A = this chain, B = another copy of it.
Amino acid sequence: MMSNLIEAINSNKDDKSLRAIVLSAKGNVFSAGHNLKELQANTGVDQHKLIFSKASELMKSIIQSPVPVIAKVNGFATAAGCQLVATCDMIVCSDTSKFSTPGANFGIFCSTPGIAVGRCVPKSRATYMLFTGEPITAQEAYESGLVTKVVPASQLDDEVNKIIEKIKHKSRSVIALGKEFFYKQIDLSLMDAYKLGEDIMVQNINSNDGQEGIKSFVEKRKAVWTHE
C-alpha cells in the first residue's frame, strides 16, 4: 500500500499535465495507519525497519512532489493515517471526520505521527492526541490548525475542486519552486530564510513564467505559461 502510494505520487512527477494530487479514500476510514500484524515479533526487526523507512519515504514523496498534494478526508484518519493527512500540503475534510493518534492504546506510541502532527497543531493539542489516544473532531482539527477547511460531506468535492481550479491557472514550475522553498525555509532561522529567499525571488522573476507573469500583468492580458 505504501509502495503503491509512493509510486503513484512519483510516477508522473515530470508530466506537465499533472497539476495537483488528491489523496482520498473509499468508505468511512480515510486511513487507519500501519497494519499491526506486520509489526509482530516474528516479522523480524529488519522488516520493522523497512516498514518505517517506507513510511518516511511516503511522507517525503508528498513533501518533495512538485505539485500540491491535497488530502480529501471523509471519515477517520488515525495513527500513520493521521500522519499522512498532516503531511499533505492542504487538508479538506467533512464535518464528521475525526483525527487521532491512538498508538499507545496498542503499546506503540505514535512517535512518527507526532512528528507531522506536532508541526501542525499547538503543543497542548498534540500531547492530548498522543497521550490520551482520543480522537478530535473536524471542528477541533480546524481550531487546532490541522486542517485547511471543514465542509459538509456533500460539498467536499466542490471545495477540493475549487482549490485545484486555482492551482491549474498558475504556472506549474512556479508552484514547484515555491513549494520546494516553503518546506526548506521553514526549518531555517528567520534570517537564514530571508537570505535564501532573496535568491529564490530573483531566480523566480528571471524564469520564463516569472517574466511572462509580469508581462501579462503589465499588458493586461491572460498569462500563457510554458510551465518551465
Contact = CB atoms under 8 A, between A and B. Distances in A.
Nearest to A48: B202
Interface in A168-201: 169-171, 174-175, 177-179, 181-183, 185-187, 189-191, 193-195, 197-198, 200-201
A107 interface: yes
A114 B171 contact: no
Interface in A135-180: 142-149, 163, 166-167, 169-171, 174-175, 177-179
Given A45-B202, A124-B145, A163-B128, A210 B111 contact: no
A76 to B, nearest CB: 17
A59 interface: yes
Given A107-B210, A107-B213, A131 B68 contact: yes
Given A109-B204, A201-B111, A213-B106, A56 B120 contact: no
Contacts of A169: 105
Interface in A116-136: 118-128, 130-134
Nearest to A195: B56
Q: How many copies does the complex hold?
A: 3
Contacts of A175: 104, 109, 131
A179 B189 CA distance: 17
B37 A132 contact: no
B56 A218 contact: no
Among A36, A68, A131, chain B packs the most CB atoms within 10 A around the CB of: A131
